[in-house]
Chain A
């Protein structure tokens, strides 16, 4: 406090009110912002571009598709991709089936436990994957540990910190009480209300959660490798030990694909939300988020 008072006098005589008034809050000015963003773009894009160049490089600096072509005929790679996709779809289905009812239930009936549950979904972030693998070998019968189903079941847990956040955020933005009351007044049971009233409202977010889970599964290496499954990343690692340019080619394409998917999804999600917000808010197009439901008289 004292420091601020002293500075006040200094400021009053020195910088003057004009300089203070133009300050735009806790933000960076254009030059600093530009420099930071440019440096970051450099750090994040150069390795990607380098991978692209590396993957398409022929002898003595020419461009060639030979690495890509070799991969297209790599049967082992395709079968590993198939395994990964199967596991990913399984994990996404379990994620939606397990997490969306849980989130709806907690927000509707146990709002006090919302924070606790959110905390629980973050626990997988702090238990190292290698430790989970050790535990799986110790706790489950060998027949179960060697089944790809286990990998899908575990990926649900590992991706939960991300998927639950997306689902729970969307559920929280719904006016749950009004929607369920409406559904039940119209004669629907809990199950019917959940499937026919709530789920359609959550469609975009559930899709995001599914995609996040799928993206996680398609990229996860540690658990798959240590459990001995030849998933896509494990096969990629195998290729990488012999043909680093081929491996780089695949990984850069896979990464671009995932990025495009998620970017499209988030842009679509943003547009949808604006549109819905404008209807509810009575034509106020600036509402970037759906208005929070009034909670008066509830809970």
Chain B
């Protein structure tokens, strides 16, 4: 914009002006094309296939099939798992972020940030193996506890259940929450707290009326991210339970690997579409919540 006059040295004509205005967009075309080709096209293909039978005719059959029996159960399990993991991790992660923000050591903060970045992406095999090694039937922690006379497996605990998965999922969701919340917590200004104090607020009141409302938009946003992350996770659950708990991603994985009944080739795509819908619904809920919070804050 700054250069338009200087570069040409004359008054540009109409068409040239329009071209010049569009020219900057050329710079992001490669990026957009890449994203469309490697993310947009596959996603669209899943949506399209969800409404096709194996002969390519339009049908509701896949979706109908995807919402009953084992598949419906897997949705219930997946939602239950994601809601619990996201809820617990959101609270724990925020508390941890405040504790880190309270620390005066910048080395600790930097170390914690990079550790969080690593742990947040740890999902998958190492995580499953680490928990099998510590809390599995013959894990190190299990044996230590059993040595102390309290074997968790005698008291209803089992790592290879939904509860176990929640404990494991928190391992990568809490750090993710810390990453998102740490900047937000650090932006809570000391002056706001002092202002509340001067108005007579106790520590608890200041948190309740100023701190938490100020963090709320970020907190809700992050919780939705955690929910989606837990909902979509495949590797950890697969490695930990070997498919024993029917979760939606596991079901889709099984279908991809070729365990398909005749005539049901596209039921995986229907499950995929349903997953996309759940994710979209979370995004929508998030946008709504945040708008309401923003209005209330004004």
Which of A's residues lie within 8 Å of B, judged by CB? 3-5, 7-12, 15, 20-21, 23-29, 32-33, 36-37, 40, 43-44, 46-51, 53-55, 98-99, 101-102, 105-106, 109-110, 113, 117, 120, 123-140, 153-154, 156-157, 162, 212, 215-216, 219-222, 225-226, 233, 236-237, 240-241, 244, 247-248, 251-252, 254-255, 258-259, 262-263, 265-267, 270, 288
- Decide: A48 near B106, CB < 8 A? Known: A101-B27, A138-B269: no
B235 touches A222 (CB 8 A): yes
When distances are taken between beta carbons in the complex, the residues of chain A under 8 Å from B189 are: 25
The answer for the CA separation of A162 and B114 in the assembled complex, in Å, is 13
In the complex, the chain B residue whose C-beta lies closest to that of A48 is B130
The answer for the CA separation of A32 and B275 in the assembled complex, in Å, is 40
A222 touches B234 (CB 8 A): yes
- Since A47-B171, A120-B35 are in contact, a sample of 4 more A-B pairs with Cβ atoms closer than 8 Å, ordered by chain A residue number, is A36-B98, A51-B130, A157-B35, A259-B115
The answer for the CA separation of A48 and B119 in the assembled complex, in Å, is 11
- Decide: A105 near B27, CB < 8 A? Known: A26-B193, A128-B279: yes
When distances are taken between beta carbons in the complex, the residues of chain A under 8 Å from B294 are: none
Looking at the complex, which one of B190, B199, B211, B239 makes contact with A240 (CB distance below 8 Å)? B239
Q: Is the interface of B mostly helix, strand, loop or mixed?
A: helix
In the complex, the chain B residue whose C-beta lies closest to that of A29 is B102
When distances are taken between beta carbons in the complex, the residues of chain B under 8 Å from A49 are: 140
A136 touches B42 (CB 8 A): yes
When distances are taken between beta carbons in the complex, the residues of chain A under 8 Å from B141 are: 46, 50
Looking at the complex, which one of B170, B198, B276 makes contact with A131 (CB distance below 8 Å)? B276
Distance in angstroms from A266 CB to nearest chain B CB is 4
Distance in angstroms from A55 CB to nearest chain B CB is 8
The A/B interface has a contact count, at CB < 8 Å, of 302
When distances are taken between beta carbons in the complex, the residues of chain A under 8 Å from B199 are: 4-5, 7-8
The answer for the CA separation of A283 and B283 in the assembled complex, in Å, is 46
B256 touches A134 (CB 8 A): yes
When distances are taken between beta carbons in the complex, the residues of chain A under 8 Å from B59 are: none
Looking at the complex, which one of B41, B139, B192, B249 makes contact with A135 (CB distance below 8 Å)? B41
In the complex, the chain B residue whose C-beta lies closest to that of A22 is B197
A226 touches B253 (CB 8 A): yes
B28 touches A33 (CB 8 A): no
The answer for the CA separation of A9 and B41 in the assembled complex, in Å, is 63
- Decide: A15 near B202, CB < 8 A? Known: A25-B194, A53-B140, A139-B45: yes
Interface presence of B134 (CB below 8 A): yes
When distances are taken between beta carbons in the complex, the residues of chain B under 8 Å from A225 are: 235, 238, 253
